[in-house]
Structure 1
Amino acid sequence: MRDRAQALLIDLDGVLRRWDPAPMIAVELEYGLKPASLLETSMSWDIYQPAMSGEITDAEWMKLVADRLPLEAPAATAAVAAWQEYRGEVDPDALALVRAARAGGRTVAIATNATDRLRADLDTLGLTSEVDLVLSSWELKVHKPAPEFFQQACLAVRTVPKRVLFVDDDDRVIRGARASGLAGYRWAGPEHVPYLRKVLDLPE
């Protein structure tokens, strides 16, 4: 890339936060649900989209999930509550990149599709103080990969798009970032961290 990045926008889920499927599977087994049914139900577009766009709260979203489970109401509510207790884990390699970028004077922001629960999750994970800004689709009222999300993100970090590195685990989001003029990189693990450091013009 010709222009070295002066800001890093990094996704939360699938990049800075990873999920162990075991706790979620355990809940489904306990309540007699099919594997991955909770996740699949929550990702149904007609309820996922308004939850990510700030149209409904996280609590309202989870109630809609419970309403769709093949369980009696009390059991469905309990299953969703148990499923939500596990909040994931920080990826140490992604966090090391964030810390290196900030140490190198780069502005770093979490840029993620999320609900109003995001801030509490970041506190729980110890990530709040690790970044300069948090850019949430719920707060911006627009979700990735909409061009408006990337426009607002670049304005927030006060950097022109061509000097912003965007790291995400979703190909569709990466395509959206590139279409908006950002340098987009699909995160698949730590093997390309040396390349990302070069894009950010960080010392070896």
Structure 2
Amino acid sequence: MTEPPFGALLCDIDGVLRHWPPLDEIERAAGLPVGAVAAVAFTPPLIDAAITGRTTDAEWRAAIVAELAAAHGSADAAEAAVAGWSAVLPRVDHEVVALLTALRGVIPVALVSNATTRLDEDLARIGLADVADAIVNTSALGVAKPDPRVYALAADRVGVPAARCLFVDDTEANVVAARAAGMTGVHFRTAADLRLALTGTSQPG
């Protein structure tokens, strides 16, 4: 690969490298309304504690079971839904994987994710344990994107000044925060956004 106009790539995981399917069938099979798991799992304070390491992934999922059981009156349904969700494998964007693979050895590549303590295990399950030179997991940092400390710590991890880092994320607020930290930020929608960014021809937004 031709050397890109950046000194390092910092890349989000969810919504960029991997994509989770809907849980409709799992929730219906368990007897829960569609959307019930996400309505509990991804709202504060549960998700905030999980992605900043105040609770482990196992503790987070146990809390979700308890909340679902209380909300819907069935511990069995809650346990079945969370067990089914926990076993789901995401779709991997192999076009993004190919871009990261080609880039490694040219410049450092790091994954920067608001993730739980299960991230390493999850990446290994889908064959992505070695897709990057470093993994910056916010549950190990104690702070999550868009906190500016995440960007400083990620740049430090790859040994490249923030001004020389390209940050790619599907969440616009995280991209805005990266730009405020002095990085070049790209709002990811498709792999084409990343490909263009690596040539220095993408437009901000």
Q: Give 1:38's aligned residue.
A: 37
Partner AA of 1:115 in structure 2: T
Partner AA of 1:180 in structure 2: A
SS at match of 1:114: coil
Q: Give 1:94's aligned residue.
A: 96
- Give TM-score, length-normalised by structure 2: 0.90
Q: How big is the shift at 1:192?
A: 2.5
Partner AA of 1:38 in structure 2: V
Q: Give 2:24's aligned residue.
A: 25
Alignment gaps of 5+ in structure 2: none
Q: Identity over the aligned pairs, expressed in percent?
A: 34
- Give TM-score, length-normalised by structure 1: 0.91
Q: Give 2:83's aligned residue.
A: 81
SS at match of 1:199: coil
Partner AA of 1:78 in structure 2: A
Partner AA of 2:29 in structure 1: E
Q: Give 1:62's aligned residue.
A: 61
**Residues 54-74 of structure 1, C-alpha deviation per residue, up to 9 Å, x if partnerless?**
000111111111112114223
Partner AA of 2:93 in structure 1: D
Q: Is the 8 A contact 2:31 2:77 kept in 1?
A: no
C-alpha distance in structure 2 between counterparts of 1:158 and 1:197, whole Å: 19
Moved over 4 A (4+): none
C-alpha distance in structure 1 between counterparts of 2:154 and 2:194, whole Å: 22
Q: Is the 8 A contact 2:30 2:80 kept in 1?
A: no
More helix by share: 1
C-alpha distance in structure 1 between counterparts of 2:20 and 2:11, whole Å: 17
Q: How big is the shift at 1:41?
A: 1.2
SS at match of 2:136: strand
Partner AA of 1:81 in structure 2: A
Q: Give 1:6's aligned residue.
A: 7
Count of paired positions:
195
Partner AA of 1:84 in structure 2: S
Q: How big is the shift at 1:197?
A: 2.1
SS at match of 1:178: helix
Alignment gaps of 5+ in structure 1: none
C-alpha distance in structure 2 between counterparts of 1:196 and 1:96, whole Å: 15
Structure 2 residue 145 is the aligned partner of structure 1 residue 144: yes
Structure 1 range deviating more: 73-82 or 11-20: 73-82
Q: How big is the shift at 1:158?
A: 0.3
Q: How big is the shift at 1:140?
A: 1.1
Question: Cα–Cα, structure 1 residues 193 and 154, in superposed 2: closer, same or farther, change >3 Å?
Answer: closer
Partner AA of 1:158 in structure 2: G
C-alpha distance in structure 2 between counterparts of 1:47 and 1:164, whole Å: 31
